[in-house]
Amino acid sequence: NAGVTQTPKFRILKIGQSMTLQCTQDMNHNYMYWYRQDPGMGLKLIYYSVGAGITDKGEVPNGYNVSRSTTEDFPLRLELAAPSQTSVYFCASTGGNSPLHFGNGTRLTVT
């Protein structure tokens, strides 16, 4: 039982490049979330999804896009990377009646 799996673990991007952070879960959870965590700060919600085909913005959505074509996968897309997007990104899921299960994170540096 893998839980929530994120890839890659680390990535360095140059300003203006694009990339997709992958997230997949094998718990058949409907609800999935993307958070970012900056040093010394709490996690902030970027986007979330309550089921396949449904996505919505969180607190800090600017510069990101998401899609949810299947229950298992919830990729996060950065189109034009900026230094302000240097952060650790966590994907998480829940079945709706239980606390969040987090992935191990993707550490992204934009230079």
Partner 1 sequence: EDKVVQSPLSLVVHEGDTVTLNCSYEVTNFRSLLWYKQEKKAPTFLFMLTSSGIEKKSGRLSSILDKKELFSILNITATQTGDSAIYLCAVIPRGSTLGRLYFGRGTQLTVWP
Among 25, 85, 87, 93, binds partner 1 (CB under 8 A): 93
The nearer residue to partner 1, 32 or 81, going by C-beta atoms, is 32
The nearer residue to partner 1, 18 or 57, going by C-beta atoms, is 57
> Which of these, 53, 13, 20, 29, lies nearest to 102 by C-alpha position?
29
Q: Does 104 bind partner 1 (CB under 8 A)?
A: yes
Among 48, 64, 74, 89, binds partner 1 (CB under 8 A): 48
Total residues contacting partner 1 by CB under 8 A comes to: 27
First to last CA, the chain: 36
